[in-house]
């Protein structure tokens, strides 16, 4: 479910991804790392780009927009796909701090507000050419990052996830900006947007693709969830195919410690295994079955103050006694769409083909983050009213998250600690 809604302040301007980029764009630079067990981690250069929907987009010689989130493009500007490309332009962005994005070395800061205005940025990881997305292939590997969640109260969602977007963001003669301008977004929710892969979405189709939610969290609760689809790449849906019984798993197979009755595992203070009042390291491993080469499980480990914190073994009635996401766990937890759409094998196949790293920070204007942290839904310790933006700001007037030290490579290569879970590194047969 990680997506980050386009903020109302931008949606009201009618912003949408444009086909004709104008002006210059300066992408923030981010140091990342590639790791092996034998050689350790080496630095690499990446950049980040803001989603095309959040750039300034308007009709030629006009301040009128070209469409808004959840709808097809403006009919006047876009009677045809070719007319969209001619009539709609996208302004470049050279100061990413105006949309809450700053980078320093290997650190990325994302703010919910800038000058008390909601910006709710969603960004994607570009490769070192700045023309294509970094296509990560995590099957059989692990991915690690550090996070500071201290300014994320109930109702906030800091998200880091994978989307099976195209490497060039759908760049073609009608979409000249491509990945360099943040085009091509899709996820398992199959949202309707004015443009799909940067081309006018005249039919109002949904943009679907495989989604792997590595991190959806605030300081009170968190979840990891794979969302497979039964189609590869960007898939356009209509009618029932866009719904909950359609081509993509909208709910996903979630692992939320609070839902698993592990209520002292993650939270604020030293009484929790993972203390969110301090930064910590998040490790996600994607081991494969030695016989098939297919994704076998998804393992979550934390490191804080040099000490490894493993996931606890499930002890909830009706669920298998596992400490990782497995197909039997997902089946027992009621993730029927996940099973129907290919389960872990389908998710692993998408990661093998290559996916794009997306990061966002967002809240829900109607308080609809209770699926992540709400006491009423058994998802966390937060009262429903705490998820309302006006109440979020009473607790934290400047919500933000900092991700840093993004590393990926062989299992067991991306982090160090005083007590290592050596047995977990072995791939299972």
Tens digit of each residue's pLDDT (9 = 90 or more) over 309-357: 999 999 999 999 999 999 999 999 999 999 999 999 999 999 999 999 9
Asked whether 101 and 94 are in contact (CB, 8 A), the reply is no
Question: What residues contact residue 116 under an 8 Å CB cut-off, 6+ apart?
Answer: none
pLDDT tens track for 169-181: 999 999 999 999 9
Q: What is the pLDDT of residue 12?
A: 31
Asked whether 56 and 212 are in contact (CB, 8 A), the reply is no
96-102's contacts with Cβ under 8 Å and 24+ in sequence apart are 96/26, 96/27, 96/28, 96/48, 96/50, 99/50, 99/54, 100/361, 100/400, 101/28, 101/48, 101/50, 102/28
Residue 166 falls in the annotated catalytic set = no
Q: What is the 3-state secondary structure (H, E, C) of 366-405?
A: CCCCHHHHEHHHCCCCECHHHHCHHHHHHHCCCCEEEEEE
pLDDT tens track for 179-189: 999 999 999 99
Q: Which of 289, 323, 293 is nearest to 309 (CA)?
A: 323
d(CA 416, CA 82): 53
d(CA 4, CA 9): 14
Confidence band of 3 (pLDDT split at 50, 70, 90):
low
Q: At 339, is the secondary structure helix, strand, or coil? A: helix
Residue 386 falls in the annotated catalytic set = no
Considering only the C-alpha atoms of the chain, give the largest distance between any 2 of them, rounded to a whole number of Å. 63
Terminal-to-terminal C-alpha distance of the chain: 31
Catalytic annotation, pick one of 25, 166, 168, 211? 211
Confidence band of 429 (pLDDT split at 50, 70, 90):
very low
Q: How much is the mean pLDDT over the chain? A: 92
CA distances from 330 to 7, 91, 251, 257 (A): 33, 44, 11, 14
d(CA 199, CA 183): 9
The values of phi and psi at residue 318, to 5°, are: 90, -10
Question: Which two tokens mark 164?
Answer: 């099976």
Q: What is the pLDDT of residue 19?
A: 55
Q: Which of 108, 127, 149 is nearest to 34 (CA)?
A: 127
- Arithmetic mean of pLDDT, 82-102: 95
d(CA 220, CA 200): 40
Catalytic annotation, pick one of 134, 216, 386, 396? 216
Residues constituting the chain: 429
Question: Which two tokens mark 1?
Answer: 């479910």
CA distances from 160 to 3, 128, 150, 326, 409 (A): 9, 20, 16, 21, 17
Q: Judging by beta carbons within 10 Å of its beta carbon (0-12, 13-18, 19+), is residue 105 exposed, middle or buried?
A: exposed
Question: What residues contact residue 336 under an 8 Å CB cut-off, 6+ apart?
Answer: none
pLDDT tens track for 109-167: 999 999 999 999 999 999 999 999 999 999 999 999 999 999 999 999 999 999 999 99
Q: Which of 2, 22, 35, 147 is nearest to 413 (CA)?
A: 35
Q: What is the pLDDT of residue 1?
A: 62
d(CA 250, CA 6): 19
């Amino acid at each position: 479910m990680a997506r980050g809604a386009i903020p109302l302040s931008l949606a009201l301007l009618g912003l949408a991804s444009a086909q004709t980029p104008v002006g210059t764009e300066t992408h923030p630079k981010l140091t990342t790392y590639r790791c092996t067990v034998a050689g350790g981690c080496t630095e690499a250069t990446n950049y980040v780009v803001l989603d095309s929907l959040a750039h300034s987009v308007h009709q030629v010689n006009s301040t009128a927009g070209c469409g808004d989130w959840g709808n097809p493009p403006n009919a006047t500007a876009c009677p045809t796909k070719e007319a969209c490309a001619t009539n709609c332009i996208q302004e470049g962005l050279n100061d990413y701090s105006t949309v809450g994005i700053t980078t320093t070395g290997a650190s990325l800061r994302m703010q919910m507000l800038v000058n008390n205005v909601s910006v709710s940025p969603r960004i994607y990881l570009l490769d070192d050419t700045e023309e294509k997305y970094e296509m990560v292939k995590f099957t059989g590997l692990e991915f690690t990052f550090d996070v500071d969640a201290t300014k994320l109260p109930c109702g906030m969602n800091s998200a880091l996830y994978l989307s099976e977007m195209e490497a060039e963001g759908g760049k073609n003669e009608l979409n000249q900006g491509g990945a360099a301008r943040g085009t091509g977004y899709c996820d398992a929710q199959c949202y309707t947007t004015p443009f799909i892969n940067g081309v006018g979405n005249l039919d109002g189709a949904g943009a679907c693709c495989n989604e792997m939610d590595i991190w959806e969290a605030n300081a009170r609760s968190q979840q990891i969830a794979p969302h497979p689809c039964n189609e590869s790449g960007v898939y356009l849906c209509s009618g029932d195919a866009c719904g909950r019984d359609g081509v993509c798993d909208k709910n996903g197979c979630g692992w939320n410690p609070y839902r698993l009755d592990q209520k002292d595992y993650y939270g604020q203070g030293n009484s929790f295994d993972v203390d969110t009042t301090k930064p910590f390291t998040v490790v996600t491993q994607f081991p494969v079955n030695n016989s098939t080469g297919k994704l076998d499980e998804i393992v979550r480990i934390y490191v804080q103050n040099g000490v490894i914190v493993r996931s606890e073994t499930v002890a909830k009635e009706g669920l298998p006694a596992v400490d990782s996401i497995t197909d039997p766990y997902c089946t027992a937890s009621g993730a029927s769409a996940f099973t129907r759409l290919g389960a872990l094998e389908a998710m692993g196949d998408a990661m093998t083909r290559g996916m794009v790293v997306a990061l966002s920070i967002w809240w829900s204007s109607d308080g609809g983050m209770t699926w992540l942290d709400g006491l009423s839904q058994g998802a966390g310790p937060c009262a429903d009213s705490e998820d309302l933006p006006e109440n979020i700001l009473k607790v934290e007037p400047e919500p933000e998250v900092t991700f840093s030290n993004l590393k990926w490579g062989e299992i067991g290569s991306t982090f160090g600690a005083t007590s290592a879970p050596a047995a977990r590194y072995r791939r299972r047969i």
